[in-house]
Structure 1
C-alpha cells in the first residue's frame, strides 16, 4: 500500500525529502583564528614547549600571555591556566581548604565533571534540582540541611545562574561559590562577566567550547590569597617566581606552600588559546544575532520555544542552542524529535547530558580510594528526586553553538524543520 502523504511532507527519517539539501554544509568547528598558525610556529621553533622549560632569550610564555589576557577579559585580578576544565574545578575546590568529606552542592543538570571534581578534591557532591526556566541552580534550590561549604554554580547551555541571588543566600553563611563557566565564556549579568562573581570561576577550553584550544582550562579569582595556592596546586607545588627569570633557568620556583600535582597547560595549547580569544566576541555577535532571529521565527509555532535567559543577563554565550518543547508531538519523545531534526537538517540535534542522579558516569563506588566518600554520597541521595531537572531532560533538544555561526537562511531552515517535525 502506498501512502497518500506527498513525499516532501513526510519526515526525512521516514524517507521524505529533508528540509536542507545535503550539498549545503554547516559551519565547521573549530574555526582557527588568524594568529593560531603563527603562534603555533613560534612555539614549535622557539625552544619552549611547556612552562617547565628553561627561559630562552626575552620571550614571554604564551601561557603567561593568555593568563593576563583572559584575566583582563573576564575582569578578574588573577587567572591560572590548567590542562583541562575538570582540572580547573579540582584545583579550585582544593584551594578552598575544606575538610575531608565536607559537602558541596552541585546541580543535577550538568556534565559529570562538576560533581567528580568534588570527589577528587576529597569532598562529597550533593546534587540539587535546578530552576525550570533557566536550567541553572537558583537560591530556592540550595539544600542547606547538609551543611554545604561550597556551591558549584553551573551556567547551563546559554543561561547564567543568578549569581547575586545565590550570593545573598551563601554569603552570610560563609559558603563559597565556585562558578562553573564551561558553557559561559563571555556571558554577562548586568554587564559583569561570568566567572567574576564567585570566589573562583572555572572555564573549559575543550574542543567543543566557544573558546577552545583543543583541551585546556583556567581558574580566575580576585582572591590574592588563593591565587598562589592555585598556582602550586596545578604545578607540583611550584609557582611563578616574583623576580625576572635569568636566561636558562625556570620560571617556576619550588615555593611548596601546598602539595600540588601537574595540571599545567602546555605552550601549544596556550598559543592557540591566545589566538582564539581575539575572535571570541565577534563570534558571539554572529551566534547571538542568529539566536534572536530563530526565536522570532519560532514565536508562532505552538509548543516550542528557545531557552531564554533571565532579564538581568545582558549577554548570552551559546554553548548549546536549546529548544524547549512544552508540548511534545503526539507519539514522539524528545529523542525522536532530535533524530527527526538531525535528518531534516544534516546537523546533529541531541538530548542534554544524562542528569547526574542517574548518570552512569557518576559512580564513585567503583573507585576503592573513594569508598568513604562514596558511602556518604549514596546515603545522602537515597531518596532524593529532581522533578525540574527531569522535566528539562525530557522536554529539551539541543544543538551545538556552531549551528548559529551561519547565515539567516540557516535559521530559516531550522525553523522550517522544527515546524515540519512538530506539525507532521
Structure 2
C-alpha cells in the first residue's frame, strides 16, 4: 500500500517530501575496527614504519600477508601500496613479451586497463553479460589472440572464473582475477582471488577492506610468489634470516622491480580491519536479501543476477537496474531523483572503457606503439552489454547496507516512487547516445529467467 501511494506522490527532486526523513543518518564509512588504534600505536613506537627497515620485531606487513593468505585460501600473499600496483606486478610476473594482448572487461574501473599498459601489454576490451556485469565465455571474441585475461568481479557479482578458464585454457591464456570489489566473496566455497592463477585486491578507501590505500596479490603458484616479491620491492625479497637490526630484504634480483611496498601503518590497520570484515558481510548480505525481496514487487526493476555457484556475496556497490527506464528519463536523472528521496548518494556506473576519458593511452608518448595497437584492435567494436548496464543501472555504495532493515524499506519505497517516472512538473531529463550513435534503449534486455537468483 505504501509503494502504491508513493508512485503517485510528488518527487523530492521536484520539491515533494522525500521518502526518508532527512534527519535519519546513514551508516558512515570507513568504520574503524576495535583494536585499530592499538595496532597503529604499536607501529608508531616500533621503530619500523616500512618493510625496508632493520628488523626490530615482526613486521605488520608480514603478519597481514599471512592473515590474508589464510582468508583467501591461498599459499602466498604479497601486499602492495595500491590495487593498481597489484595488477601491474601480477601481469609482469607472467613474463609475457612486450605488446601481447590481455582481455579486459569493458565495464570496470580504468586501472584494470591502464595496469596492462604499465606492464608493457595491450588491453583488448570485451563486452560483459548484462545480467551480471562480468565477462562470460559467450562475450569473448575467439578471434582475439591474447595471452592473459583479467576477470573482474563487478559490484557484487563474481565472474565465472572456472568457465572462463575452461574457455581460454586451450589457447594458452592465463586468467588473473581482479577481486578489488570482492574481498570475502565465494564461488562454490572457494574465496575470490583463489580461482585464477593470480588474484589481485585493492584496499582503497571505499573498498570493504580498506587501509585508505593498499593492495595485494595472492597465488598458489610457488614459482610466481618470489617473483612478485621482487617486482614490488626493487628486486628484493624476504631472506631466510630473522636477525635483529638486520634488513630483512635481500637483493636477490632475478627480475628488475619497482617500489610498490605497503607501508607499516596501512598493514597494521588492515590486520585490525580484517577481523571485522566477516561481521560486516553478514549485516550487508542480510540487508541485500531483504532489499531483493522488496524490489521483486516493483515491475521493471531488478538487481544483478547472482550465479547459483556464487554462494557468498561481497558487496562493493549494489546496482539497481531499470528494465526499462522510467518514461522520458535516463539513469542520470534516476540517480539524482533517488538521491533526493534518500538523502544519500546514488550514482550511475562508470563510463564504459571504450569511451572513458580516463583511458586515453595516446596522451602518453612513451607508450605510443602500444596505443597504436590498442586503437587498431578496437576499431569498429561495440559493447552492447556494457552500454546497457551503464545506461540502465544506478549504484548504491556498500555502506548503505550496514544499517537496519528500515533502510532497505526506504530504498525500496524510493525506487517504487521514482520508477513511475518524471511527473509533469519535473522535466529535467535527457537521453544519452552510444558511441555508435544508437540510443541506449536500443539494447533489449533478455527475458527474465526464474532461477531464484537476481
TM-score normalised by the chain length of structure 2: 0.90
Equivalent position of 2:217 in the other structure? 219
Count the aligned residue pairs.
Answer: 417
Once residues 388 and 274 of structure 1 are traced to their aligned partners in structure 2, the CA distance between those partners, rounded to angstroms, is 38
Equivalent position of 1:154 in the other structure? 152
Once residues 422 and 354 of structure 1 are traced to their aligned partners in structure 2, the CA distance between those partners, rounded to angstroms, is 22
Are residues 1:419 and 2:421 paired? no
Equivalent position of 1:400 in the other structure? 397
Moved more, 39-48 or 144-153: 144-153
Q: Paired residue for 1:308, among 301, 305, 308?
A: 305
CA offsets per residue over residues 267-291 of structure 1, 9 Å max, x none? 0000001110001111001001000
Q: CA RMSD in A?
A: 1.3
Once residues 21 and 300 of structure 1 are traced to their aligned partners in structure 2, the CA distance between those partners, rounded to angstroms, is 23
Shift of 1:307: 1.6
CA offsets per residue over residues 269-316 of structure 1, 9 Å max, x none? 000011100011110010010000001111111110122311110011
Equivalent position of 2:280 in the other structure? 283
Equivalent position of 2:46 in the other structure? 46
Once residues 148 and 240 of structure 2 are traced to their aligned partners in structure 1, the CA distance between those partners, rounded to angstroms, is 31
Are residues 1:320 and 2:323 paired? no
Once residues 298 and 291 of structure 2 are traced to their aligned partners in structure 1, the CA distance between those partners, rounded to angstroms, is 11
Shift of 1:172: 2.4
CA offsets per residue over residues 150-205 of structure 1, 9 Å max, x none? 00000000000001111111222221011000011000011111100101000000
Are residues 1:135 and 2:133 paired? yes
Once residues 172 and 243 of structure 1 are traced to their aligned partners in structure 2, the CA distance between those partners, rounded to angstroms, is 42
Q: Paired residue for 1:236, among 234, 237, 250?
A: 234
Are residues 1:350 and 2:363 paired? no
| 8 A Cα contact 1:105 1:143, kept in partner | no
Once residues 64 and 356 of structure 1 are traced to their aligned partners in structure 2, the CA distance between those partners, rounded to angstroms, is 36
Shift of 1:133: 1.1
| 8 A Cα contact 2:327 2:420, kept in partner | no
Q: Paired residue for 1:340, among 337, 340, 347?
A: 337
Equivalent position of 1:371 in the other structure? 368
Once residues 310 and 144 of structure 2 are traced to their aligned partners in structure 1, the CA distance between those partners, rounded to angstroms, is 30
Gap regions ≥5 residues in structure 2: 422-454
Gap regions ≥5 residues in structure 1: none
Once residues 229 and 299 of structure 2 are traced to their aligned partners in structure 1, the CA distance between those partners, rounded to angstroms, is 51
Once residues 51 and 219 of structure 1 are traced to their aligned partners in structure 2, the CA distance between those partners, rounded to angstroms, is 17
Equivalent position of 1:36 in the other structure? 36
Once residues 137 and 212 of structure 1 are traced to their aligned partners in structure 2, the CA distance between those partners, rounded to angstroms, is 26
Shift of 1:134: 0.7
- Which portions of structure 1, spanning 4 or more consecutive aligned residues, are displaced by more than 2 angstroms? none
What SS class does the counterpart of residue 214 from structure 1 fall into?
Answer: coil
Equivalent position of 2:259 in the other structure? 262
Once residues 32 and 142 of structure 2 are traced to their aligned partners in structure 1, the CA distance between those partners, rounded to angstroms, is 45
Once residues 367 and 242 of structure 1 are traced to their aligned partners in structure 2, the CA distance between those partners, rounded to angstroms, is 41
What SS class does the counterpart of residue 133 from structure 1 fall into?
Answer: coil
| 8 A Cα contact 1:84 1:206, kept in partner | yes
Once residues 341 and 193 of structure 2 are traced to their aligned partners in structure 1, the CA distance between those partners, rounded to angstroms, is 37
